[in-house]
Structure 1
Amino acid sequence: MKALSIVFAGTPEFSVPALEALLDSRHQVVAVYTQPDRPAGRGRRLAMSPVKQCALRHGLPVEQPGSLRDPAAVQDLARRAADLMVVAAYGLILPPAVLALPRLGCVNIHASLLPRWRGAAPIQRAILAGDQVSGVTIMQMDAGLDTGPMLLERRCPIELRDTAATLHDRLAALGADAIVQAVDALAIGTAQARPQPETDVTYAAKLRKEEALIDWSVSACQIDRQVRAFNPWPIAETRWEGRQLRIWEAYCEDVPTMTGAMGGTMAVPGRVMAADAMGLRVATGRGMLRVTQVQIAGRKVQPAADFVNAYRLEGVVLGT
């Protein structure tokens, strides 16, 4: 098998396993493209992306153009004369001039089973929607938004307690394995691209921080999915005595919520029906939500059982 020369483009932690897998393969990564260093942390100091850190550990050339529409960036990429460009959560748009440069084109590792969840946040949107299965798709890139023909798919169940963080890690590992298989097939000429179905297309819009605010009038199961989908960012939250209360972990108790008296307290959505060693039991539009990990603004995450030892919560209506 002929070894391919590859330019790798990626930025976040999701991309790192794929880069490392390619470095362990017979193929040669000739350069790494990643987004420019960004301010991070309380000190707002410039921080390198996880991909840049990985590339530097391996002594790889790193390029960080602000845009690939810059003619100088395109010329630099052309000088690499790569057979293939592998993209994994890079975060910059590849214009047609870049897509046409590598001999075998550009392929992308996308964290969904296309055409479901094209776009920026496929992992979180899959959990929010209650999907039972996810996966990765290796696709040949074109000028559209995740619309190119598919080279390879790998499926992965979404477990009942999966968060965006746990599903992210499994899909990153799955994508790393799949990209090596796809690149090997491209190298020997056996890769067969097939068009995406034109039906059942969904779009995974970028997450907005406002989506983290809990609406207690919806079902406990919907809120449970919201809590899991927004962990580790932006973290589902509610209001408590005018303060931000983040909910890091919760699960639904699928029992009817009475709108009348329950233990002498009205079970209106958001009301804390019990606060004990098991955490907070909160009424919703349907069912009860058991909250097990919380965080007050400016404090560390703590078990809800510890939180209720410090504050009187029973009977309080959250979200007000």
Structure 2
Amino acid sequence: MASATSRVIFMGTPDFAVPTLEALLDAPDFDVVGVVTQPDRPAGRGRDVRESPVKQVAVEADLPVFQPETLRSPEAVEHLRVWTPDFLVVTAFGQILRQNVLDLPRVAPINVHASLLPRWRGAAPIQAAIRAGDTYTGVTTMVMNAGLDSGPILLQDSIPILPYETGQSLHDKLAPLGANLLIHTLRWLLGGSISPHEQPSNAELITFAPQLKKEDGEINWRQSADEIDRHVRAYKPWPGTYTMWEGKLLKILAGYPVAIDIGVPPGVVADTQGAAFTKATPFVIGTGRWAYAPTQLQLAGRQVMEAADFLNGASGFLGSRLGSVPEPEE
């Protein structure tokens, strides 16, 4: 090391990046000389302009903050160069970095990614792992290159995906795991005890998790009940899952698969009266295999309700067909 501490530029934006920034601030051998985050954006129903979670932490710590719309301009690159970093640490920043930015740090540009690369490269690895039915996942630190999460791996750490894991619960486990892994990565890299190794090139091992859109949350009732369950859990809280009922958007916030053939087509709501169901499950919905039992729902413009309360106020719900599933052919 050229000095007692290594100079770090941190790049990140959402909640997932906060524990990594906090870990760097707590480490005496690293000096965060600047933070780069996305510009303040309108958010929420009132569309009030909000600072990113990373910016809020940086401001509280009295760190220099840089919020460019893009890092492609020579002026933006020069802004970073003046900070003379030893490391560039990137965690869920939200922009693709060009090689001229990756070349700035003296030691290396390091990324903290929420999957066990090369599985689930891309913007939404946490949701992708749950939806695919993976039994474990983890975090990876890598030396960044100009590709999409394709740089050489430094360290990895894994955890199991529990049967009732949601996108939020897995996010909350992986964020601190990644922070801890990053500190070990930087120290061990400086000490020469680890070195980068290329990711496997086997195409069967490489999967992608593109950025999610709101419309990705629509439920396809022709999928199996297990697939729908993973969909609902993976996309909680964002982008959420929904279906359509009588022309209105109906959010499905929680539920579980029921391993029984209820004898109705996909998307049809069936009464469970007289069946071996709990009181909290007054109805189930037909799927491509078995049935799905929602436990929390929210009709557009209404509050979140438990299944029994929802049914009490939803005349005509039982026996109706949800979503855009077409009527079966005669």
- Aligned residue for 1:136, secondary structure, equals strand
TM-score by length of 1: 0.94
Which whole-Å deviations, capped at 9, do the CAs of 1:17-37 have from their partners, x for residues lacking one? 110011111211111000111
CA distance in 1, matches of 2:129, 2:99: 29
CA distance in 2, matches of 1:43, 1:222: 34
Question: Map of 1:1-320 to 2, 5 A cutoff?
Answer: 2-26=4-28, 27-199=30-202, 200-258=205-263, 267-274=264-271, 277-279=279-281, 280-312=283-315, 313-319=317-323
- Aligned-pair CA distance for 1:299: 2.0
- Aligned residue for 1:73, secondary structure, equals helix
Q: Is the 8 A contact 1:221 1:254 kept in 2?
A: no
Q: What letter matches 2:65 in structure 1?
A: V
Q: Which moved more, 1:61-70 or 1:41-50?
A: 41-50
CA distance in 2, matches of 1:25, 1:316: 58
Q: What letter matches 2:13 in structure 1?
A: T
Q: Is the 8 A contact 1:115 1:201 kept in 2?
A: yes
Q: What letter matches 1:7 in structure 2?
A: I
CA distance in 2, matches of 1:172, 1:87: 13
Q: Which moved more, 1:53-62 or 1:41-50?
A: 41-50
- Aligned-pair CA distance for 1:64: 0.5
TM-score by length of 2: 0.91
CA distance in 2, matches of 1:232, 1:150: 30
Q: Is the 8 A contact 1:22 1:28 kept in 2?
A: yes
Q: Is the 8 A contact 1:4 1:187 kept in 2?
A: no
List gaps (5 residues or longer) in structure 1: 259-266
- Aligned residue for 2:57, secondary structure, equals helix
Q: What letter matches 1:230 in structure 2?
A: Y
CA distance in 1, matches of 2:299, 2:95: 35
Q: What letter matches 2:230 in structure 1?
A: R
CA distance in 2, matches of 1:249, 1:94: 37
- Aligned residue for 1:119, secondary structure, equals coil
- Aligned-pair CA distance for 1:256: 3.2
Identity %: 49
- Aligned-pair CA distance for 1:4: 1.1
Q: What letter matches 1:298 in structure 2?
A: G
- Aligned-pair CA distance for 1:275: 5.9
The runs of at least 4 consecutive aligned structure 1 residues that moved more than 6 Å come to: none
- Aligned-pair CA distance for 1:229: 1.3
RMSD across aligned positions (CA)? 1.4
